[in-house]
A and B are shown apart, each in its own frame.
Chain A
Amino acid sequence: MTDRELAGGVIELEIPARAEFVALARLVVSALASSDSTLADERIDDLKLAVSEACTNAIEAHDAAGSVERVLVRCQAGTDALEVCVEDRGHGFDPSDLPDHPPVTDPDRLKFERGLGIPLIRALVDEVEFSPTEEGTSVRLVMRLGPNGAGPS
């Protein structure tokens, strides 16, 4: 199979909303990303980390909502971008409601052990979109392929 035969192909993975399955989601996404030779290893690592963060948030949302539904990870390899959608069926959340962390020079910064996931996602992928769905939240991560995929601006 050549890279371009993958174009338009969709791979869907449903994982139980449990912590041990986040590694599986990372594995599937990085294997798919590796099959596109235009995506540099460093960018594959970035996507893998973003997927890990999105799946972690999804699982925590399910925990909080007491949901036993699965988390859906959908990967779509297009000709100019690789997209990964992580859909949860927990309570929705508003990413703009996240508290700002104190500056790192402030000793109070150490009070924040959580909340680093979304800033990481934003820094790692070319595009990210959080959308409410009927059942929860969908997080769409986009990595542009080829020469334009130089990293987030």
Chain B
Amino acid sequence: MDLGLDVEERDGFAVLSVRGEVDVYTAPRFRERLIELVSEGKHRIIVDLEGVDFLDSTGLGVLVGGLKRLRSHDGDLLLVCTQSRILKVFEITGLTKVFSIHDSVDAAVGGGSDGGATT
């Protein structure tokens, strides 16, 4: 099973685009990539989940861990997600209130609340 993890710079943010299925098998690679970015000094990270087909609680754990790590560096972790089946996982666990979730990378970079709050 393939997990795609691509990074690009965008207006002071590192945008990590995730593709494929995030579960107990692939989550460790996702976690390592996030930790690498933080240790490279990238403290403002956007995780783009639009290419994710499946995400379970291990994936949520990686994101919660990433947010915690970034906040300890005065950074932030923003999410891009519009797929209802992925958003549902955040809604059930109450994590929509923890993460800033945006409709597009543009909206996340813009930082406004326009594209966010997909609750």
Contact = CB atoms under 8 A, between A and B. Distances in A.
Contacts of A116: 57, 60-61, 93
Contacts of B1: 20, 23
B7 to A, nearest CB: 22
Interface stretch (A49-57, A87-95, A128-136): A49-57
A124 interface: yes
Interface in B63-110: 64-65, 67-68, 71, 85, 89, 92-95, 97-98
Nearest 5 Cβ contacts at the A-B interface = A19-B25, A116-B57, A113-B61, A104-B94, A110-B68
Interface residues of B, number: 25
B6 interface: no
A111 B56 contact: no
Interface of A: 19-20, 22-23, 26, 42, 45, 48-49, 52-53, 56, 59-60, 103-105, 109-114, 116-117, 119-120, 123-124
A19 B68 CA distance: 25
Contact of A22 (B24, B65, B92, B97): B24
Contact of B56 (A49, A110, A112, A119): A49
Nearest to B65: A113
B17 interface: no
Interface string B12-24: 0000000001011
Contact of B89 (A49, A60, A103, A104): A49
B85 A42 contact: yes
Contacts of A53: 56-57
Given A56-B23, A56-B56, A119-B92, A114 B61 contact: yes
